[in-house]
Amino acid sequence: DAHETLVERGVTFDVDPHFVHDMGDHELWLAFFKDSEENQLALMCGVAKS
């Protein structure tokens, strides 16, 4: 997954992937990190419910 790949490449996350909201048919997950210029960036993932 993207989080794992970025960690392997040396990215340090301020906030690891975590559940944010139940969207009904899927869950919303977010993770936050900073780029080399200290801009806050996020990964967002929608995880389908079974």
- pLDDT of 18 reads 98
pLDDT of residue 47: 95
Q: What pLDDT does residue 44 have? A: 97
Residue 12 contacts by C-beta under 8 Å, 6 or more apart in sequence? Answer: 33
Compute, in degrees rounded to 10, the torsion defined by CA atoms 37, 39, 40, 41: -80
| Tens digit of pLDDT at every position of the chain (50 positions) | 899 999 999 999 999 999 999 999 999 999 999 999 999 999 999 999 98
pLDDT at 1: 87
Residue type, 33: F
| pTM (predicted TM-score) | 0.85
Domains in the chain: boundaries: 2-48
Strands, sheet with 40-48, edge to edge from the N-terminal-most edge strand: 13-22, 26-34, 40-48
DSSP label at 11? P
